[in-house]
């Protein structure tokens, strides 16, 4: 029962007030996913009751009717320690140009004082067919610094984020960075390893996934612990969306690369399936020598 309370996916809720009522009975909720269109009844967002969930760290929602200013007001109503806020279909066109900066020929709605005061930084990547807006917290660097980890694997690293990370003093002093400028990224973002400079790196390789339509790759490092022991560590970003077969092929490539030589190995990354998904069970049934941690 406790597991059910911690994650809630709503499919048929009509209004945001309905969501507030339902979540009032789930005080330990950590992940909340809401349907699209439930913002159509919000006439005066200032009178909207706040979302009071002290354990909520993940919220995924979708807005069809709010403009960007109302979207900012909505975020102020969330009194939860969110780590991930995933919002789809905000109407970026309905805001006053005088309140925002121009970025690469596009209005940048994330440059208002609302975002600056929260010490979040904004990135934009312009592709042929779309514009990707990304908001990342400045405290990502603080988290990595305080972790004192000897090896860090990162995914969805854009060139701007990579440059921000590379400029940090703790990175310069303590880590070897697999890339310093992102020029080898196969798409608008890539995977990166940070390795403690005290470790002996005997080899590092970037492996393409030939059938990927999203530029996905594996980066693999060999760390020599002593004369007789090598550990191989990789980070990967597998194909997303409804591409289970592609992910299986990509994991097969990872396994083949790890099996080139004896020794222990660790694979980390964004696999694009959850630990409680059937796909997780299916994949590990195929990879019988792997341990899911």
Q: Domains, the chain, ranges and CATH?
A: 2-137 (no CATH), 139-286 (3.60.10.10)
> Which pLDDT does position 2 carry in this prediction?
43
> Which pLDDT does position 110 carry in this prediction?
63
Checking if the pLDDT of 102 tops 50, the result is no
Q: For 159-167, what is the mean pLDDT? A: 84
Strands 31-36, 7-9: pairing kind: parallel
Across the beta sheet with 151-157, the strand order is 151-157, 190-196, 175-177
> Which pLDDT does position 97 carry in this prediction?
40
Checking if the pLDDT of 217 tops 90, the result is yes
Distance, CA of 31 to CA of 82 (rounded, Å) = 10
Instruction: Name which of 14, 75, 84 is nearest 48 in CA terms.
Output: 75
Cβ neighbourhood burial of 169 (10 Å; 0-12, 13-18, 19+): exposed
Q: For 56-63, what is the mean pLDDT? A: 78
> Which pLDDT does position 43 carry in this prediction?
63
Flag the least confident range among 95-99, 183-187, 212-216: 95-99
* Residues 121/136, Cβ–Cβ less than 8 Å: yes
Q: For 1-29, what is the mean pLDDT? A: 68
Which whole-number Å values give the CA distances from 35 to 8, 9, 39, 43, 62, in the listed order?
A: 11, 8, 10, 18, 6
Q: For 22-38, what is the mean pLDDT? A: 78
> Which pLDDT does position 60 carry in this prediction?
79
> Which pLDDT does position 101 carry in this prediction?
36
- Among the ranges 82-91, 227-236, 256-265, which has the highest mean pLDDT value? 227-236
Checking if the pLDDT of 121 tops 70, the result is no
**pTM higher than the cut 0.85:** no
pLDDT band for 74, please (50, 70, 90 cuts): confident
> Which pLDDT does position 103 carry in this prediction?
40
């Amino acid at each position: 029962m406790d597991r059910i309370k911690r994650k809630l996916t709503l499919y048929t809720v009509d209004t945001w007030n309905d969501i507030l009522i339902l979540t009032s009975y789930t005080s330990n909720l950590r992940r909340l996913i809401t349907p699209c269109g439930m913002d159509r009844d919000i006439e005066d967002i200032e009178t909207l009751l706040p979302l009071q969930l002290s354990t909520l760290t993940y919220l995924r929602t979708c807005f069809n009717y709010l403009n960007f200013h109302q979207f900012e007001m909505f975020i102020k109503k969330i009194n939860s320690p969110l780590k991930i806020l995933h919002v789809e279909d905000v109407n970026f066109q309905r805001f006053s140009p005088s309140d925002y900066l121009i970025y690469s020929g596009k209005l940048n709605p994330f440059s208002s004082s609302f975002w600056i005061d929260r010490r979040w930084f904004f990135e934009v990547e312009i592709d042929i067919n779309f514009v990707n807006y990304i908001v990342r917290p400045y405290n990502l660097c603080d988290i990595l610094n305080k972790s004192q980890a000897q090896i860090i694997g990162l995914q969805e690293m854009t060139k701007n984020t990579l440059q921000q990370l590379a400029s940090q003093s703790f990175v310069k002093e303590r880590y070897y960075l697999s890339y310093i400028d992102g020029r080898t990224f196969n798409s608008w973002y890539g995977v990166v390893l940070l390795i403690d400079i005290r470790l002996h790196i005997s080899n590092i390789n970037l492996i393409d996934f030939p059938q990927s339509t999203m530029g996905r790759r594996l980066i693999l490092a060999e760390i020599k612990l002593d004369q007789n022991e090598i550990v191989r560590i990789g980070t990967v970003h597998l194909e997303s969306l409804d591409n289970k077969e592609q992910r299986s092929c990509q994991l097969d490539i990872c396994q083949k690369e790890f099996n080139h030589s004896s020794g222990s190995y660790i694979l980390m990354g964004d696999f694009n399936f959850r630990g409680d998904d059937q796909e997780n069970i299916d994949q590990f049934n195929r990879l019988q020598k792997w341990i899911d941690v």
